[in-house]
Amino acid sequence: MSETEVKISRREQILQAVVHMLEANPGGKITTANIAKTVGVSEAALYRHFPSKAKMFEGLIEFIEDAIFSRTSRILQDFPQADVRCEKTITLVLSFAEKNPGMCRLLAGDALVGETDRLRQRIHQSLYYEYSYHWFALRASELQLACLESLGILQALASCTVNFDEY
C-alpha cells in the first residue's frame, strides 16, 4: 500500500471517529485528545492529517454537502414533477438523518458550540443555499410551496437526533 493510501485511510478513520463520538455522546464536547484516543494515535498524528479540529468538522460538512446537496440537485434535474421532487427529497433527508444522527448534530450546530464562528457560518450558508436552491426550483404552485414548507420542517427534523424506539 502506498503512503498516499495510508494517509487517506487514516484521514477517514479520524472522520469516522468524530462521527462516532457525535453519535455516542450527544451534547458532549469533542476534544482532539478524545479523538486521538478513539483512533488509537497521538494528538500529533491527528495534526498530520488535519491542521485543526475545525478542519475535521469541515471535512464532515463537505461530506454532508456532497451526500445531500449533490443528490438533491440530481433529483431536481431528473424529475420535473414537483410532487415527485418533494417526495424524493424528503425521503433523502429523512434517510440521511436516520443513518447519520451524528451528522445531524453538526447540521443543528450543537456539536459546534465552543468552536469557531466560521464553522457555524459554513453550516448556515450550506443550509441557506439548499433551501434557496429548492425555492427557485419549486416556486410555481401551491403544491410546490407546501413542499418547501415540508423541506423547512425536514431541515428542523434532520437536526434532531431523537430515537423514537426508546419511547
The reported pLDDT for the residue numbered 156 is: 56
Written out in words, the top-level CATH class of the domain with range 3-166 is mainly alpha
* pLDDT given at position 165: 44
| Spatial CA neighbour of 60 closest among 97, 19, 105, 93 | 19
3-class DSSP state of 71: helix
- As a whole number of angstroms, the distance between CA 31 and CA 52 comes to 11
What's the CA gap between 37 and 34, in Å, rounded?
Answer: 5
Mean pLDDT of 26-41: 88
The pTM for the full model equals 0.69
Could you tell me where the DSSP H helices lie in the chain?
3-24, 32-39, 43-49, 53-64, 70-78, 82-99, 101-108, 117-138, 142-158
Share of the chain above pLDDT 90, in %: 19
> Over the stretch 51-104, which tens digit does the pLDDT of each residue have?
998 899 889 888 888 888 788 888 888 988 777 887 888 788 888 888 888 887
What SS3 class is residue 79? coil
**Helices 117-138 & 82-99, crossing angle to 10 degrees?**
150
What confidence tens digit (pLDDT) does each residue in 100-159 have? 888 878 877 777 777 777 887 877 777 666 666 655 555 555 455 556 656 665 565 555
How sure is the predictor about 162, in pLDDT bands with cuts at 50, 70 and 90?
very low
Residue 150 vs residues 38, 76, 105, 157: alpha-carbon distances, Å = 38, 16, 20, 10
pLDDT of residue 50: 93
Q: Is 82 exposed, middle or buried (0-12, 13-18, 19+ CB in 10 A)?
A: buried
pLDDT value for 166: 42
